[in-house]
A and B are shown apart, each in its own frame.
Chain A
């Protein structure tokens, strides 16, 4: 038994037939081939799967694909402008904000939601915002630096 789900992903209309139990992250990765969104846990704690749904950051592992019917979804693949990295991606590159890179897509999608609501976040606000994004490599320091630099670049 499958249901048809239609939504917009990174500006493109897409649809797929999925089981009701299919998670949004499974649909993105397995049906649409968008493997930039990662799965790092099964307890909804790590944030590797963060995407934007109707402009807000959510954990794609904790939303059913059917619940995203009609929604506007943005994943890490939709962030760059062609070959030009988004200023937030560029900031992670320049500030060594990643090591293995597993957490990075979620970090960037989460950071972009922070900057949308708070264009000039303090270091403390950045650290508090990253509560739901776990990184096993960096110790967070360079991630915080990257987000600070990315926010600055986005302010222009």
Chain B
């Protein structure tokens, strides 16, 4: 690991000030992605700005509209939250299957979505439910937040502070996990979301995406059979030692069917 300066931020503004003044300064949340990156010398920041000392950033609350999860809320806290389980059980279920218990004890929703790994689980929930990302500067609709492979709409001095998920009707997430890491080879989130049926796919492409044809079919008839005959093209899908693009395309239909069946 290259050496760097370490600063524990006391507030979001302080953290934003440091990363705003120095392009090579980087935020640290749960560290479950960033510390392995540092260990492998894939990054050489001047300063690591730790968000773990910022108070009030890890709250989870629910009201009639939905659930708001603070950016520093750990995956384990979302998985165990009675509020999340009551309001949007599919979200608690998704969080409970991220990585392993030790990753869930440290990893945060803010870090996960800011990183936008193509195989991460949370992007599917944000796009599948039509969530809104709150930052220190603005609110961003999930549909506009994830912009490409490891790319988001965030600016250099922009910090995710919370994510708001609207309540949904039936909803569920199914993933075909990588057997070693549990990252999604393909994961599909289906929901009768606040603004209509949504089908969001992670793992398959460079970035989370929606499948309009499946959404229309499920809006007409919410059943696993509605999506059984619908597939997506393998063009542009991810291909690696774990799965070919064709196999991933096949899994999208299988996981969509299973998610609809799981949602009931």
Residues of A within 8 A of B (CB): 1, 3, 19-21, 23, 42-45, 47, 50, 56-59, 61-64, 66-67, 110, 113-114, 129, 131-133
B40 near A42 (CB under 8 angstroms)?
Answer: yes
Shortest Cβ distance from B6 into A: residue: A20
Contact of A62 among B6, B8, B32, B180 (CB under 8 A): B32
Q: How far is the CA of A47 from the CA of B205 in the complex (A)?
A: 29
Q: Is A20 a contact partner of B52 (Cβ separation < 8 A)?
A: no
Show the binding face of B for A, using Cβ within 8 Å.
1-6, 8, 31-32, 35-36, 38-40, 48, 50, 52, 99-103, 105-106, 180-182
Tell me if B31 and A62 are in contact (CB < 8 A).
yes
Chain A nearest Cβ from B41, distance in angstroms: 10
Q: Are B100 and A1 in contact (CB under 8 A)?
A: no
Subset of 17 A-B contacts with CB under 8 Å? A1-B3, A1-B5, A20-B3, A20-B6, A47-B100, A57-B102, A57-B105, A59-B106, A62-B31, A62-B32, A64-B6, A67-B31, A67-B50, A110-B101, A113-B101, A131-B101, A132-B99
- Give CA–CA (A114, B101) in the complex, Å: 9
Other A-B contacts than A20-B4, A21-B4, A132-B99, 7 sampled, CB-CB below 8 A, are: A21-B1, A44-B103, A57-B102, A59-B102, A62-B36, A64-B31, A132-B101
| A58 touching B106, Cβ below 8 Å | yes
Closest-CB distance, A8 to chain B (whole angstroms): 18
Shortest A34–chain B CB gap in Å is 18
Give the total number of A-B pairs whose CB atoms are below 8 A apart: 74
Output the residue of B1, B32, B48, B101 with the most chain A CB within 10 A: B101
Please name all residues of chain A whose beta carbon is closer than 8 Å to the beta carbon of B36 when the two chains form the complex. 42-44, 62
CA distance A129 to B32 in the complex (A): 18
Output the nearest chain A residue to B33 by Cβ-Cβ distance: A44
**Interface residue SS majority, chain B:** mixed
- Given the complex, which residues of B lie within 8 Å of A61, measured CB to CB? 39
Bound complex: CA A110 to CA B180 (Å):
17
Chain A residues contacting B35 (CB-CB under 8 Å) are: 23, 44, 62-64
> Using Cβ atoms and an 8 Å threshold, which residues of chain A touch B102?
47, 50, 57-59, 110, 132
B94 to chain A, nearest CB (A): 15
Nearest A residue to B177, CB-CB: A131
Nearest-neighbor residue (CB-CB) of B1 within chain A:
A21
Write the nearest CB–CB distance from B15 to chain A, whole angstroms: 15
The answer to whether B40 touches A20 (Cβ under 8 A) is: no
Chain B nearest CB: distance from A68 CB in Å? Answer: 11
B8 — which chain A residues lie within 8 A by C-beta?
A: 66
Q: Which A residues are in CB contact (< 8 Å) with B40?
A: 42-43
Neighbouring B residues of A129 by C-beta, 8 Å: 101
B32 touching A44, Cβ below 8 Å: yes
With the chains together, A131 CA to B181 CA distance in Å?
A: 8
Q: Kindly state the separation between the CA atoms of A3 and B101 in the bound complex, as whole angstroms.
A: 30
User: Which residue from chain B places its CB closest to the CB of A3 in the assembled complex?
Assistant: B6
Inter-subunit contact A132/B103 (CB<8 Å): yes
